[in-house]
Copies of this chain bind each other. A is one copy, B any other.
Amino acid sequence: MRVLSTELGAHVGARVTMAGWVHAKRELGAVSFLVLRDRTGLTQIVSGEPVELQPETVVELEGMVVAAAQAPGGVELHDPSFRVLSEPAEPVPLELRRPQLKETLPTILDLAPVALRHPRERAKFELAAASVGGFREALDRLGFTEISTPKIVGSATESGANVFRLDYFGRPAFLAQSPQFYKQVMVGVFERVYEVGPVFRAEPHDTGRHLAEYTSLDAELGFITDHFEVMAVVREAVSGMVDGIREHALGAMKLLEIELPQVPPDLPWLHFADTGVNDVDLAPADESRLCREHGEWLFVTGFPMAKRPFYTHPEPGRPEYSNSFDLLFRGMEIVTGGQRLHRYDDYVAAVDGNTAPYESYLQAFRYGMPPHGGFALGLERWTARLVGARNVRETTLFPRDLHRLAP
């Protein structure tokens, strides 16, 4: 029966079996100190004999659990006997034993299959996993149903720009830029739906905040009055994500020394007209400034229609503005959403009567749809904001961009 690093404290005085990777090794006179890494953490192993194991050797071992105040976790393993399960074919090209990797980001990304083994690298994706779990739990509680919608689509979702083209059995097809149309259609079925899945943008700009493929946390709900009801769900979702981390990734949080955000019952909001921005959209610099002025959370509402997609619901009484919002978190937009049009005639007008490319999408609206809205949250951006990463590639397992298609 294998004992994991974090379980070792319960076995002091017993001889146990462990397994994992040789994370680090040093000799001090006749004594060998070795650090074993498993999925829960690190364990110090002390041997009176020389240990001939290279870093990243996969081992199973037996040893005596001994209380040791100076060791991480307060226990260590003495008198080990090893069985090698697999040996590296060549020396590891990164120093995983360092508290933090010293290599540049491109090198770390090129070597991701090994670099991700570093406890701090790994911890970021534990935060991501716990966040997604918390997102689902929050929405499940609110009566949402999870859906899986197609990523190969017959026409571009959001716009013709930035879309990947595909050969689909000899016909042209596209990769979905979002599940937008499908989640709206599914409001007609389940009223409240969410989907966590990949979205694809042929993003020609090489920035620290854009990826060609990322994980989108999408939700959509019907029978709303306006976008403020959607924003209330966004609040529950991000609060659930923070709870998810607190419940399931406390170790990762401590290792990365990050501070979890407080999520007040009502997140503050500001209308676009009151942001002091003289344009139709926020620039990254505006996002930073607004968070400096208003705190780590800020909804900006009422974006000008000029920069929102055609399905956006205008603001009643001020049709140059819209019932839409972005949520800024620690200086960056992480959520975008709003109320959508729900009447068939409004859609026909919004696409200037050019309904053909939207035929199956518009079916839903032709046969009765309630007022509805929704939002999308980018997972990699969320994690980047949490850990203070400047580049979203730091919180993506295997990023895809203009230049990068591997690993």
- A: residues with CB less than 8 A from B are 2, 19, 21, 38-39, 56-58, 60, 85-90, 92, 111-114, 116-117, 122, 125-126, 128-129, 132-133, 136, 140, 143, 145-154, 164-169, 171, 173, 175, 182, 185-186, 188-192, 197-198, 200, 202, 204, 212-213, 215, 223, 342-345, 359-361, 363-371, 379, 397-398, 400, 402, 405-407
Contacts and interface: CB of A to CB of B under 8 A. Distances in A.
Contacts of A407: 185, 359-361, 363
Contacts of A89: 344-345, 365-367
A182 B398 CA distance: 9
B129 A223 contact: no
A197 to B, nearest CB: 6
Contacts of A367: 56, 88-90, 92, 113-114
State how many copies of this chain the complex holds: 2
Contacts of A152: 164, 175, 200, 212-213, 400, 405
Contact of A369 (B58, B189, B368): B58
Given A190-B122, A191-B38, A406-B360, A370 B150 contact: no
A212 B173 CA distance: 13
A114 B188 contact: yes
Given A85-B371, A86-B371, 8 more contacts: A86-B342, A89-B344, A113-B360, A114-B367, A148-B397, A151-B213, A182-B397, A185-B407
Contact of A113 (B122, B175, B185): B185
Given A148-B379, A359-B406, A367-B56, A122 B223 contact: no
A5 to B, nearest CB: 11
Contact of A215 (B112, B148, B370): B148
